[in-house]
Structure 1
Amino acid sequence: MIADAAVWAWLGFVAMVAGTAAPLWAWATEESATGESHAKYYLTLAGVTGVAALAYLAMALGVGVVSSPAGDVEIVRYVDWLVTTPLLLLYLGLLARPSRGVLAGLIGVDVVIIAAGIGASATAGTLSWALFGVGGVAYLALVYGLLVSLPRSAAAAGDRVRAVFGTLRNITVVLWTLYPVVWALAPTGLGLVTPATEMLVFVYLDVVSKIGFVVVAVAGADALTHLTAGGAAGEGSEPIAVGDADGAETEQPTVLADD
């Protein structure tokens, strides 16, 4: 027998709290051992699981449910995604260092996806599926950015940074693709699974896609040293031309300025 949705929400809360401890501990131990601080990287990771923990706490307590023509909508889940998914994209951007325009574009598309999901959950019938389709098209644009646009920038960051970025990017693309499938099967879509099963699957996906992301990022934190050392000379720079072996000029990608 599948447990009540609140039970899975409580388990999600506990898991996210544990996941938040990992980057905070890594940040504290790194700074005390080496004197270096990559605060913005670790705090971005902690923000992902920290916000998710608060969201699951609210869902476990039955807070954040909004009535709509299509039924009750757990709006707190979408608020969670509106905050945590841009943070995950931001961390990928901190590794790849694309232009601000590219990163802002990806986050903007991500917001469109979540907004379409809210609209689809709050409506019914043709309009609901039309909004679901809008979110699906936007998601294809996001996947293109993750698979094509960001790797172009990450290519200039060094082998170790590319390896960590590639793993995190793949986790994101594969697991995020499963969320709309669950939505379509859940009461929000075709109604083929119960609310308890929906919560169970979303908790599982969140644990793997968020805590898994955080664990891999912390395990690959040595890449941050290569990144900050290699990017210091080019902080905040615009594309610059450099000569190649044949004397031709090529452009280096714009990098985001470090704080």
Structure 2
Amino acid sequence: MSTDDLRMHHRFKLGPAWRWLIAKSAAARGDVQTYVRYGPEFWQVFDHLRGAPFVSRTQDRVDHLLDVQATERIFCDPMMRLQVEARLLARLPPDAVAAACGVATQIVLDYCDVFFDILDNLEAKTWLAVHIFDPKDRPVSDLHAFVCHASYRGGPMVCEYWLAAIPHLDEECDLSTARGREIKRMQLALMLRRIEREAPKRLFEVGKRTGYLSRRQARRFSSLSDLMGKRSAQVLGKFLSAEKVALPFVQSENDSHINVGGKQQSA
């Protein structure tokens, strides 16, 4: 498998942080599949996780030294991570993202290589939704997922609007002022996001506990014979209703007799 094929495969499956995840798994195992062409970025992340100095293993491994330590600091800082990722998703170029975040442009590029490999995949809306906006596992936070999604949909202006508002989201809202109403509007938008994410899980848990969610009581059968008897009655009813000349009724009275056209017959 070529380096490009490997990147496409793992990025599709694992998301933007695929290099970090693969290198972390390999470092935990203590071995690497030598026949796979991982590429220079992987080996630098792998060496960083092992605590080893950078060592050249292939000729193409030394084309650029990643500052893995600086990128990891961004990744582990929730607010800094959100600022970088939201601006990249808003389609700002890396140099503009770097200037807004107060870091070097190369650090932003290194961050994309290690943790956020999306620059050439920004049109993959479903992939972004699965791995960033609404991942199956828990996102960094509801705020992170919401702001990233809003930035992607609204562009740089919406992105900067939300990033500037984040420090004020915990403030008390005076609804008599325009600022208070705006803060409350943002709080409600985040609450709606949380409800939309959590409600299906809660309904599923309630359904498992109660067995049924509608007002109508769930059908229960005391035995297999009861189940078969009810099923036979349903089938027979459909058959009789389809006949041109149907008997007046067929009704079970007890275990030994039935009524056929008003006359009692032995079962």
- Alignment TM-score, normalising by the size of structure 2: 0.21
Larger radius of gyration: 2
Greater helix share, 1 or 2?
1
